[in-house]
């Protein structure tokens, strides 16, 4: 019997009422409903300094890298800022340089679900940015992505999701990440290859 899939969600923004954090939690709920163990890592809680190779990694970066290395799959969620990912989200990913010398290196054979929230309609640009980053880190983006446009219509002012259709799509994305991770566990690849 295969062990339970471990899914780490990374994202949110520095904003307390983060819609991208709410979207991430909803996707992780879908992964959990499909039998995965989940952990949400909010960039706001990481409180990482800007990445620089010139200073020693802080303990939060080491813990973050350990959690990512130990998981089977990831879900990333970021707000769309000026057509791309937020600076805090990108900074967290920059700290994954700590996985360069691990075995396997970086995010090898880890499926990654991609979510963005956008005030306008440009969320797909940030999804594309995350896809490029995932590939450069040797991860596998699942084809099902979810850019949530005009998030002010789907979330209330406190960042809570109020659109059940979007919530269902986010939960489906979480389940798809688990499905892909199970294929990697069983076969060392998945049908995205």
Residue from 24, 133, 35 nearest 79 by CA: 24
Contact of 35 with 44, CB cutoff 8 Å: no
> Distance of CA 191 to CAs 3, 176, 181, 184, Å?
20, 12, 11, 9
Plot region of 165 (φ>0 → left; ψ -120 to 50 → alpha; else → beta): alpha
pLDDT of residue 149: 75
Residue written as token pair 């819609």: 19
* Residue length of the chain: 193
Nearest to 8 by CA among 75, 80, 53, 56: 75
What count of other Cβ atoms lies within 10 Å of the Cβ of residue 141?
A: 22
Check: CB of residue 20 under 8 Å from CB of residue 11.
yes
Residues 6+ apart with CB under 8 A from 147: 80, 115, 116, 118, 123, 124, 126, 127
Do 60 and 99 contact (CB within 8 A), yes or no? no
Structure confidence at residue 112 (pLDDT): 98
Question: Is residue 126 within 8 Å of residue 76, measured between CB atoms?
Answer: no
Beta bridge partners, 146, equal: 115
Domains assigned to the chain: 6-187 (3.40.50.360)
Residues of the chain with pLDDT under 70: 1-2, 192-193
- DSSP, collapsed to helix, strand or coil, labels residue 70 as helix
pLDDT of 35-77, one tens digit each?
Answer: 999 999 999 999 999 999 888 899 999 999 999 999 999 999 9
Global confidence as pTM: 0.94
């Amino acid at each position: 019997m295969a062990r339970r899939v471990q899914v780490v969600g990374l994202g949110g923004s520095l904003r307390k009422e983060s819609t991208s954090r709410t979207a991430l939690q909803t996707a992780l709920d879908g992964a959990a409903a499909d039998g995965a163990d989940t952990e949400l890592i909010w960039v706001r809680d990481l409180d990482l300094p800007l990445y620089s190779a010139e200073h020693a990694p802080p303990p939060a970066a080491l813990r973050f890298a350990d959690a990512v290395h130990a998981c089977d799959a990831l879900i990333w969620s970021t707000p769309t800022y000026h057509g791309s990912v937020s600076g805090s989200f990108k900074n967290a990913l920059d700290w994954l340089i700590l996985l360069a010398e691990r075995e396997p290196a970086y995010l090898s054979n880890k499926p990654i679900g991609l979510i963005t929230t956008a005030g306008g309609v440009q969320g797909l640009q940030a999804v594309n940015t995350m896809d490029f980053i995932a590939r450069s880190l040797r991860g596998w983006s699942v084809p099902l992505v979810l850019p949530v446009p005009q998030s002010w219509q789907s979330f209330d002012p406190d960042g809570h999701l109020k659109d059940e259709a979007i919530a269902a799509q986010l939960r489906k994305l979480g389940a798809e990440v688990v499905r892909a991770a199970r294929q990697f566990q069983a076969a060392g690849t998945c049908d995205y290859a």
